[in-house]
Amino acid sequence: MKIGLLGGSFDPVHNGHLYIAERALAEYQLDEIWLVPAGHSPNKDESRMTPSLHRMAMCEQAVMDRPHFRVCGIETESKERSYTYRTVEKLAGRYPMHRFYFIMGADSLDYFDTWVHPERICASAVVLAISRDDWKEDDLKEKIRAVTRLFPADIRIIHAPEYDISSRSIREKLADSDDVSALLPPKVLSYIRNHHLYQ
């Protein structure tokens, strides 16, 4: 199967994440999307993150009514640092029958060459970069050419209009008791309220 991998803190998972995943699913005829909540991220202060138990549960709630989506706990179940190349290589090793497509934003692609072993990510997966309104497609294509001059890579563009939403802004709105019902799947919002998160 063709599997799209969408990683992130998902703190909380929101409609923007699902929108991006749906666009990738449709444009590249993927069979499934796997949400991969971050485990021990080298770039995040874990003391400020919601425990992985809740972030995993919110992802499970978000995909409950989406038959082509599932949640993968490969990072949250591990005790080691969650570098993307490790995650992708582990999944490729566990599921050699699948072809993986790693989904990232154009802003991340801009400094992809500074990631830890980006060449190993590209050896195990096709990279799908989300176009953004602040990135002209010609500039994105030029960045893709620059990366492929450094190492072999199959990098393609997901055409998705800007969806201006972030987990941080949602957390702030929840803390202020603002209405976020248009930003979150209903079951995720119910989970947040039932577990008194982000207050």
**pLDDT (tens digit, 9 = 90+) per residue, 123-169?**
999 999 988 766 778 889 999 999 999 999 999 999 887 777 899 99
Q: Where residue 46 falls among pLDDT bands split at 50, 70, 90?
A: low
Least confident of 30-34, 60-64, 156-160, 173-177: 156-160
69-71, strands of its sheet edge to edge? 69-71, 32-37, 2-8, 99-105, 125-130, 155-158
For residue 24 the two structure tokens come to: 């990738």
Q: Where residue 181 falls among pLDDT bands split at 50, 70, 90?
A: very high
What sign for the dihedral angle of Cα 89, 90, 95, 98?
Answer: negative
**pLDDT (tens digit, 9 = 90+) per residue, 26-37?**
999 999 999 999
pLDDT greater than 70 at residue 4:
yes
Amino acid (one-letter) located at 188: V
Map out the domains of the chain with their CATH numbers.
Answer: 2-165 (3.40.50.620)
Instruction: For helices 52-63 and 186-194, give the axis angle rounded to 10 degrees.
Output: 150
Four-point Cα dihedral 136, 142, 146, 149, nearest 10: 150
